[in-house]
Structure 1
């Protein structure tokens, strides 16, 4: 459920992977098949890592360090590969592991069109993405974003409050002025605690419909 702010929304904070791209789960499924990964082992390992990183596990983890840019992708790949097995019973090749995991991401053009429309109506936009040492396709970002905040470049990560505050500062708005779109519920909860309206993204059509209601604009052609 989207919680709408009391004031007019004049800013949009938005995630990248799984929101402006096709879903992470689809990309991972393609990689598992291509690299012949033992799927059960992968999901057990990754569930533990993600639960710790996003659901309040004690202490720091490799995911925290990777997303803040405190370790590089190669170090994470080596650690993750050592935890995994292929269906042949050997660890997968570590080098390039993250690139292969995310290779199935595809742009969701409807979401980019939505951002262009909201900017055209005077709403500021800010990308707010947790990076896994990945390369972002930035060719047309000047057309869709007023600011870009990537966790590994700023040394902060979602759901830490400080990265939301940093993003708000980059576009000169308060939490009550903004809506945040993300596909991870823990990040939405963190944003709402700062007064930012949250849209838990599941698919482009539903998110765009919620944005139309929130902004009182027609965003679909």
Structure 2
């Protein structure tokens, strides 16, 4: 293994509390059964999330190819179809992201890694959402948001683009994400991957990879 020089992390589900917790809270507030959102996403993404953007609104919004109001209209239409009551499309995504809470333990971990002299970067698939960027200048050397660069995970090119932003080769980077196929794609590029589940597990695995005490 090459000497690690950089830590790259996802946002939703890594630097925030688990995505499914936020989505469940939003659906409860909007009076939507949890299974309905899962059904819509399953229809749009397919079993492996491999459908192309012209058929897949999720891929399109993540690349910045679909405006937020149009995505909200399409999502609300699909949710309404299964919910059997009208889902208000206006501000739908903001209502969802209002339930995302920051994971202070993971933010602290990234900050400590950078303080040790490693480069750090954020690599996130966006849904046109505003990010809470306070403190990011102290946390990251580079920030790559899918909708701002016209690429999305797990496309190879977005990993290569992120590596270019920090001037690091793939074997010298560790990538942390909560979605398994995003990790698989990063490993195929040559990075070391950590599938994030909990802070304790990620800290332990990252400590072993870096050979550092991250407490």
Q: Specify the TM-score bucket, using the shorter chain as the normaliser.
A: over 0.9
**Map of 1:55 onto structure 2:** 49
Contact 2:52 2:59 (C-alpha < 8 Å) held by counterparts: no
**Map of 1:111 onto structure 2:** 106
3-state SS in 1 of match to 2:194: strand
1:152 pairs with one of 140, 147, 150: 147
Unpaired runs of 5+ in structure 2? none
CA distance in 2, matches of 1:84, 1:56: 21
Equivalent residues in 2 for 1:1-221 (5 A)?
6-51=1-46, 55-57=49-51, 60=54, 61-85=56-80, 89-220=84-215
Q: Any runs of at least 4 consecutive aligned residues in structure 1 with deviations exceeding 4 A, and if so which?
A: none
Contact 1:38 1:87 (C-alpha < 8 Å) held by counterparts: no
Contact 2:53 2:59 (C-alpha < 8 Å) held by counterparts: no
RMSD value over aligned CA atoms?
1.6
- Which deviations, in whole Å up to 9, do the C-alpha atoms of 1:90-112 show, x marking residues without a partner? 22100111111122111111111
**Map of 1:3 onto structure 2:** none
3-state SS in 2 of match to 1:149: strand
Q: TM-score, normalised by structure 1?
A: 0.92
Structure 1 residues 59-68 or 72-81, which shifts more? Answer: 59-68
Unpaired runs of 5+ in structure 1? 1-5
- Which deviations, in whole Å up to 9, do the C-alpha atoms of 1:171-221 show, x marking residues without a partner? 00010000100011111011000110100011111111111011011112x
Q: TM-score, normalised by structure 2?
A: 0.94
Contact 1:38 1:86 (C-alpha < 8 Å) held by counterparts: no
**Structure number with higher relative contact order (C-alpha < 8 Å, ≥ 6 residues apart):** 1
